[in-house]
A and B are shown apart, each in its own frame.
Chain A
Amino acid sequence: MNPFDYLQADNASNAVKLASAAAAGKYLGGGTNLVDLMRETVERPDTLVDVTDLSRRIEARPDGSVMIGAAVKNTALAADRTVRRNFPLLSRAILAGASGQIRNMATVGGNILQRTRCTYFYDEASRCNKRDPGRGCDAIDGFNRYHAILGASPSCVATHPSDMCVALAALDAIVHLEGPEGVRMLKLVDLHRLPGGRPDIETELRPHELITDVELPALSFAARSTYRKVRDRASYAFALVSVAAALDLGDDGNVKDVRVALGGVAHKPWRALKMEAALRGRAATEVNFRAAAEGELSDAAGLRDNAFNRTRQADDRCRPR
Chain B
Amino acid sequence: MQGSIQLEISRRVLLISSAATIAVNGVVTRDAAAQAAGSQMNNTEVSFVVNAESRKLNVDNRTTLLDALREHLHLTGTKKGCDHGQCGACTVMVDGRRINSCLTLVVMHEGDEITTIEGLGQPGNLHPMQAAFIKHDGFQCGYCTPGQICSSVAMLEEIKANIPSHVTENLTAETKTTPTEIRERMSGNICRCGAYSNIVDAIAEVAGTKA
Contacts and interface: CB of A to CB of B under 8 A. Distances in A.
Contacts of A28: 105, 108
A75 B163 contact: yes
A46 B19 contact: yes
B13 interface: yes
Contacts of A298: none
Contact of A2 (B28, B97, B151, B158): B28
Contacts of B161: 79
A39 B154 CA distance: 28
B64 A91 contact: no
Given A17-B9, A23-B16, A35-B105, A4 B98 contact: no
Q: How large is the interface on B (under 10, 10 to 19, 20 to 34, 35 or more residues)?
A: 35 or more
B104 A31 contact: yes
B145 interface: no
Nearest to B151: A101
Nearest to A235: B187
A21 interface: yes
Contact of A3 (B61, B108, B162): B61
Consensus secondary structure, chain B interface: mixed
Interface stretch (A92-100, A146-154, A188-196, A264-272): A92-100
Given A4-B42, A6-B44, A91 B188 contact: no
Interface string A27-68: 010111001101100001011101010000000000000000
A157 interface: no
Contact of B184 (A31, A105, A235): A235
B151 A100 contact: yes
B155 interface: yes
A2 B33 contact: yes
Contacts of B103: 30-32, 35-36, 102, 105
A145 interface: no
Contacts of A75: 97, 158, 163
B99 A101 contact: yes
A104 B97 contact: yes
A78 interface: yes
B9 A236 contact: no
B201 interface: no
A4 B158 CA distance: 35
Interface string B93-127: 00001111001110110000000000000000000
A104 B26 CA distance: 33
B9 A35 contact: no
A243 to B, nearest CB: 15
Interface stretch (B69-77, B130-138, B164-172): B164-172
Contacts of B171: 84-85, 88, 91-92
B20 interface: yes
Given A6-B44, A22-B16, A99-B188, A105 B100 contact: yes
Given A100-B155, A235-B166, A21 B12 contact: yes
B91 interface: yes
A101 B98 contact: yes
Contact of A236 (B84, B99, B151, B187): B187
Contacts of A44: 26-28
Interface string B139-182: 00000000000010011001001111110100110000000000
Contact of A52 (B27, B83, B108): B108
A99 B19 contact: no
Interface string A67-83: 00000000100110000
Nearest to A4: B61
Contacts of A48: 61, 105
Contact of A31 (B9, B19, B42, B105): B105
Contacts of A5: 12, 15-16, 41-42, 61
A38 B13 CA distance: 22
A36 B84 contact: yes
Interface of A: 1-6, 14, 17-18, 21-24, 28, 30-32, 35-36, 38-39, 44, 46-48, 50, 52, 75, 78-79, 84-85, 88, 91-92, 95-96, 98-102, 104-105, 234-236
25 contacts: A2-B28, A3-B37, A5-B42, A6-B105, A17-B5, A17-B9, A24-B26, A30-B104, A39-B83, A46-B16, A47-B16, A79-B161, A92-B166, A96-B166, A99-B188, A99-B189, A100-B98, A100-B186, A101-B98, A101-B99, A101-B151, A102-B103, A104-B98, A105-B100, A236-B188
Interface of B: 5, 9, 12-13, 15-16, 19-20, 26-28, 33, 36-37, 41-42, 44, 60-62, 64, 83-85, 88, 91, 97-100, 103-105, 107-108, 151, 154-155, 158, 161-166, 168, 171-172, 183-189
Given A2-B33, A100-B98, 7 more contacts: A5-B15, A5-B41, A21-B13, A36-B84, A78-B163, A100-B188, A235-B187
Which 3 interchain pairs have the tightest Cβ spacing? A99-B188, A235-B187, A236-B187
